[in-house]
Chains A and B, each alone.
Chain A
Amino acid sequence: EPEVTQTPSHQVTQMGQEVILRCVPISNHLYFYWYRQILGQKVEFLVSFYNNEISEKSEIFDDQFSVERPDGSNFTLKIRSTKLEDSAMYFCASSETRTAFATNEKLFFGSGTQLSVL
C-alpha cells in the first residue's frame, strides 16, 4: 500500500530555533494535513492545505507556524521560533479528494516526527 513518509523520525532542537518537518505525501493526493500529539494528550488538528494554500487551520497554528509545498512532492511544516510546549509528535497526512469522509476515501498518515524542544 502507498504510504506517507516523514523525516526525520526524531528532531531535537533548542528553544527559539527554527525547525522544518518534512513530509512526502502519496503522489496522487491533493489534500495535505498536519496533526500533532503532545505526550499523553489528544491528537490535534493543526492545518489543512490544498491547491497551494491553507484551507483550514486551528487555533494552535499561530504565526510561528507555516506550511509549504516547495515542489511537487514535499510538504513541510516550519516552526519559526520553537517553544518548550511545541514538543510533540507531529503527523503528516494526505488524501486524494476534498473530503476524507466519503465512504471509500480515507486519510493516510505518516509515522510521525517526534520533536523535542530543550
Chain B
Amino acid sequence: AQSVTQLGSHVSVSEGALVLLRCNYSSSVPPYLFWYVQYPNQGLQLLLKYTTGATLVKGINGFEAEFKKSETSFHLTKPSAHMSDAAEYFCAVSDDIRDDKIIFGKGTRLHILP
C-alpha cells in the first residue's frame, strides 16, 4: 500500500531563506505525487503535482518539487521564503488511476521568522 512520510512536523526558516520540506513515499507502481498547502482557517489547496513527464514540477507561489525515483522522494522547495508562506504543507500520493483516494502525510507546519 502506498504511504508518505514527511520529515519534521515543524520547520522554521528565516524570511528570504531557502525553504525545504521533505517527503518520501512508498509505492509499488509509479506514483502520482502532490503537495497541498493549508493556510489558517482555509481548505487544502493544491500547490503542485507530479503525474508523468518532467521530474521537476513547478507550482504556485514560487514552489517547486522534484520527483526522484531512486530516492523515493518528492521534496518541496522555494528559493526565498516569504512571511505569507507560513502554513501547513501536506505531501500526498496515489498510485492507481482507478483509485479515488489520495493518501496524505501528517503535514509539516512551516514557520517564517522575521
* Interfacial residues, chain A to chain B (CB-CB below 8 A): 3-4, 6, 31, 33, 35, 40-45, 48, 55-56, 58, 91, 93, 99-103, 106-112
Q: Give the CA-CA distance A83 to B97 in the complex, in Å.
A: 33
B41 touches A103 (CB 8 A): no
Instruction: State which residues 93-114 of B face A: CB under 8 Å.
Output: 94, 97, 99-107
Nearest residue in A to B4 (C-beta to C-beta)?
A: A42
Count: A-B pairs, CB below 8 Å: 60
- Provide the residues of chain A in CB contact with B46, threshold 8 Å: 106-107
A48 touches B100 (CB 8 A): yes
Q: How large is the interface on B (under 10, 10 to 19, 20 to 34, 35 or more residues)?
A: 20 to 34
B28 on interface, CB distance cutoff 8 Å: no
A101 touches B103 (CB 8 A): no
* Interfacial residues, chain B to chain A (CB-CB below 8 A): 32, 36, 41-46, 49, 51-53, 90, 92, 94, 97, 99-107
- Provide the residues of chain A in CB contact with B107, threshold 8 Å: 42-43
Q: How far is the CB of A44 from chain B (nearest CB, A)?
A: 7
Other-chain residue from A4, A42, A48 in contact with B43 (beta carbon distance below 8 A)? A4
Nearest residue in B to A101 (C-beta to C-beta)?
A: B32
Q: Give the CA-CA distance A48 to B101 in the complex, in Å.
A: 8
